[in-house]
Every structure is written in C-alpha cells, then in structure tokens.
Structure 1
Amino acid sequence: MKNNISFDGFIQIAIVVKDIEKAAEAWANLLNFPVPEIRYLPPVHNPDLTYRGKPAFYGLKLANIRVGNFVIELHEPDEKDSTFREFLDQHGNGVHHLGFQVGEKRDAIIGELEEMGYAMRTIGYYPGSSWTIVDAEDDLGVNLNIKPRA
C-alpha cells in the first residue's frame, strides 16, 4: 500500500460476544481490572450509519476495557442486521476487528483498500470522527476499523 497503516495507530481490538456480562467479568478477572461498565446503545435511525451500503438500524451492548491509549471493546449485538450480528452468526464469539487511527490518510487508505477488493462493511460518523469497518475476514482473518481519530 502507498498509504501504510502504521502500528503506531493500533488502538483497538473489538471482540463480538454472545454474553457481554460473562465476557466482561472474565476479561476483568484475567487482567485484574474492575468489571467495565456495560452500556446499551439502542437502535437509532441515523443517516450517517450504514451496513453493506444500506441504512443500519441495530442495538448493541458495549463495554470498553481501556489500557492507556489502547481499548479492548466487547460487543454484544441485538438480532437486527449489523456487522456484529453477521460476525456472531457466522463465527460465534471472536475478534471482529482491529482498529487503527490513521489521521488524514483515512480516505486514501479506504480508497486503496477498496481497490484491493475489500468491501466497506459498515461506515459510521459521529462528532469529530468516523469509523469504517473494512471486510477483510477472508484474507486477513479479521476485519479492519479505519478511523481518522479515536
């Protein structure tokens, strides 16, 4: 790639789980951390969120285990169509994506990944940043989350 994805920007591992309460407790015990807060993000009609090119509408339980500038994210999706539900249905519990903060190179990297045949699975925008899940499971064994800023 012309626009390299740097490990300096490796900020996240996201794990999809069937039971977030169980997983959060297990991670907390393993890392000797307090059990992280579990938040529920209900389905919201958001024109800035897509899944496989169509508007997305799904809920998600989410827990973050922060270690410095790095985050282990736990995701428990509801039954509605989403990248997280798709992964859980196909693979069960597992690493859904690795997240990289790439700054101003975001659009160039996304463009190169598309040229390489990697589909944009989910795109979401929020104040001050965005996230793009790139479907790389077949080649890399995991998806990528490309973000300009964390």
Structure 2
Amino acid sequence: MKHPVTLGGLIQVAIVVEDMDKALDHWCELFAIERPEVRVMGLPNADETYRGEPANYGMQLAVIEVPGQPVVIELMEPDDNPSTFREFLDKHGEGVHHLGFAVGDARDAVVGELAGRGHALRVEAFYPGGSWTVVDTEDVLGVNLNIKPA
C-alpha cells in the first residue's frame, strides 16, 4: 500500500457481545480488574453514517484500558437497530469486530486507498476534535478496521 497502516498505531480491539454483564464478568475475572463503567449510547447518532445512510442505533459500551499501553479493549452490545455492530453479531456471533489504528494526517489517504481496493465504508463518524471510520475488511482480514486520525 502507498499509505500503509502501521502496527505501532494499534489503539483498539473492539469486541461485539450479546450480553454486556456476562462478558464483563468474564473479562474482569480474566484480568483481575475492577468492572469499568458501562455507557449507554443512545439515539440519534449525529454526524454518523452506516453504509452511507444516517446511523440510528444504540448500544452499551465498556472500555477496558490496558495499563501503560495506548491500547484499549472495547466491549459493545448493540441494540437491534441496523448498525455495523448488529450486522457483525447477526452474521458471526460474538467476536472481534474491528481493530482500531491511529494513522494521524494519513486518515483520508488510508481510507481512500482501502476504498479504492474495494473495501466499503461501514461507518463514518465525526465528533468534536476527531472521527472514526470503520472500513469493511472482514472478507480479506477476518476483521474490520477502524481508521482514526489520533
């Protein structure tokens, strides 16, 4: 690739789950950590699209921070509305939905190059000071990519 995704930019492992409480029980026991806060993400999803259409879904989100590392493990339990997370869960069951990478100023170039290689945008979202873009790479990588500027 002309604009490669660097391994050093790995910032996130995102896992879709059916039952947040059950998943957190297992992860917290495995890592011997306190239970992280569970945030309820509601509707509407301003400035976010899912497969080119305005996004309209909710989910529960828990973030497990890795001490001393710039990486987090995110657990997501989506509602039944159409979303990239519901799509993955319905197709594959629980599992790693995406790996997130910070690519800095190369975000648009990386996303554009991946799109040019036939990888559709699943999600494009903007928030104050940032954005996240899920690129559909499941068929070739077995997982999607979340490309972020930082």
Instruction: Identify the TM-score tier after normalising by the shorter chain.
Output: over 0.9
Percent of aligned pairs with the same amino acid:
57
Distance across 1 between alignment mates of 2:120 and 2:45: 23
Structure 1: any 5+ residue segments left out of the alignment? none
Residue 139 of structure 2: SS of its match in structure 1? helix
Residue 52 of structure 2 aligns with which residue? 53
> Runs of 4 or more off by more than 2 Å in structure 1?
none
Distance across 1 between alignment mates of 2:111 and 2:45: 25
Quote how far apart the aligned CAs of 1:32 are.
Answer: 1.1
Structure 2: any 5+ residue segments left out of the alignment? none
Distance across 2 between alignment mates of 1:24 and 1:73: 10
Distance across 2 between alignment mates of 1:43 and 1:102: 28
Quote how far apart the aligned CAs of 1:14 are.
Answer: 0.2
Distance across 2 between alignment mates of 1:26 and 1:127: 33
Output the aligned Cα RMSD. 0.7
Distance across 1 between alignment mates of 2:111 and 2:94: 27
1:44 aligns with 2:44: yes
Distance across 2 between alignment mates of 1:38 and 1:26: 15
For 1:117, the aligned partner's letter is G
Change (3 A) 1:64 1:107: same
Residue 107 of structure 1: SS of its match in structure 2? helix
Residue 11 of structure 2 aligns with which residue? 11
Distance across 1 between alignment mates of 2:40 and 2:11: 22
Residue 12 of structure 1: SS of its match in structure 2? strand
For 1:111, the aligned partner's letter is G
Q: How many residues align?
A: 148
Residue 2 of structure 2 aligns with which residue? 2
Quote how far apart the aligned CAs of 1:86 are.
Answer: 0.4
